[in-house]
């Protein structure tokens, strides 16, 4: 009976997230909620997640230079090259559709991928150490990718880097560590209970995030069904290659099961919020770019849920 419960528990969280997609989509058609709910749920998820990450755990993650260097090579050398090749096969390289796909595919996620790392039983510590590296690298390399792949000569304001670093990393981490210190001073029993409560809170806030994203963006999906097939094709091919490449690299370099899950999640989650903000600044009149980013994100979440299920113990 206990083993049956454990088996069911492994499926429960992905099922809840799938229901969040369904109900978020249905409610979004009737009544879209305030878009700020997405930001609030990300911050809440990160605070819950960071509560169970001590400074010592973070330092251990930073020390794993083998993983960090391989993940960087995959995220910023192999996957951008793959993104360009796949997009070139299916889309005219001179179109704004192509530019939108490059925007979406070359930038690894710097926020919700940590929640899915936890959901997949990956190593949150090493992906947390990877977060600022991913963020700085994509800000610095995006102009290079745009020039190399699309012939667009653009420069990125470094202010975007610091805004995201403060909002999605520093502030949530400090809040979580202050709470951790407070409960630790009260007593170990309270700290343990708070850890369990906030671990469940991470799943709840991730569920709210998925619900809010589909609620806010389902109308854009319904209104732009013509560009959905090619977007789905390119993004699906990219995610499939990223998954099998992650399996191959993990086996080649002798990664642990947790490291393998972490690598596959970071290579599959894209940084849509930041890329949306940057694309609006660089191409304000090209709404197709923003639509591609939104469609890619809506494809990404079911994929991440499936990955989390596949990668769990």
Q: Taking the CA atoms of the chain, what radius of gyration do you get in angstroms? A: 19
User: With contact defined as beta carbons under 8 Å apart, do 228 and 221 qualify?
Assistant: yes
Mean of the pLDDT values across residues 154-181?
Answer: 79
The strand pairing partners of 270, in sequence order, are 108
Distance of CA 232 to the CA centre of its chain: 18
The 10s digit of each residue's pLDDT in 198-229 is 988 988 999 999 999 999 989 888 877 788 89
Q: What is the pTM of this model?
A: 0.85
The strand pairing partners of 108, in sequence order, are 270
The 10s digit of each residue's pLDDT in 235-284 is 999 999 999 999 999 999 999 999 999 999 999 999 888 888 788 777 87
> For residue 304, what pLDDT band results from cuts at 50, 70 and 90?
very high
> For residue 46, what pLDDT band results from cuts at 50, 70 and 90?
confident
pLDDT of res. 10: 60
CA dist., res. 222 & res. 219, Å (int): 5
pLDDT score of 3 more than 60: no
pLDDT of res. 186: 87
Structural domains in the chain, sorted by start: 2-311 (1.20.1530.20)
Query: DSSP string of 160-173?
Result: HHHHHHIIIIIHHH
């Amino acid at each position: 009976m206990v083993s049956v419960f454990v088996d069911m528990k492994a499926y429960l969280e992905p099922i809840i997230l799938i229901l969040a997609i369904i109900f978020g989509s249905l409610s979004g058609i009737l009544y879209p909620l305030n878009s700020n709910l997405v930001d609030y749920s990300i911050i809440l998820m990160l605070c819950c997640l960071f509560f169970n990450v001590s400074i010592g755990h973070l330092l251990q993650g930073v020390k794993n230079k083998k993983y960090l260097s391989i993940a960087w090579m995959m995220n910023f050398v192999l996957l951008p090259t793959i993104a360009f090749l796949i997009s070139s096969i299916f889309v005219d390289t001179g179109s704004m559709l192509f530019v939108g796909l490059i925007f979406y595919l070359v930038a690894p996620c710097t926020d919700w991928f940590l929640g899915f790392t936890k959901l997949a039983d990956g190593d949150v510590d090493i992906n947390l150490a990877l977060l600022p590296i991913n963020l700085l690298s994509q800000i610095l390399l995006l102009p290079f990718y745009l020039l190399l792949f699309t012939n667009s000569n653009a420069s990125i304001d470094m202010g975007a880097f610091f805004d995201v670093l403060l909002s999605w990393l520093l502030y949530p981490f400090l809040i979580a560590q202050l709470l951790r210190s407070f409960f630790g001073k009260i007593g170990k029993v309270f700290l343990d209970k708070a850890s369990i409560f906030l671990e469940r809170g991470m799943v709840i806030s991730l569920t709210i995030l998925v619900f809010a994203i589909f609620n806010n963006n389902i109308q854009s999906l319904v209104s732009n069904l013509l560009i959905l097939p090619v977007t789905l094709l390119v993004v699906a091919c990219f995610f499939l290659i990223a998954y099998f490449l992650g399996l191959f690299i993990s086996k080649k370099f002798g990664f642990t099961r947790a490291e393998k899950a972490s690598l596959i999640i970071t290579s599959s989650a894209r940084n849509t919020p930041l890329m949306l903000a940057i694309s609006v600044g660089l191409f304000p009149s090209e709404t197709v770019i923003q639509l591609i980013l939104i469609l890619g994100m809506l494809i990404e979440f079911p994929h991440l849920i499936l990955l989390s299920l596949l990668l769990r113990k």
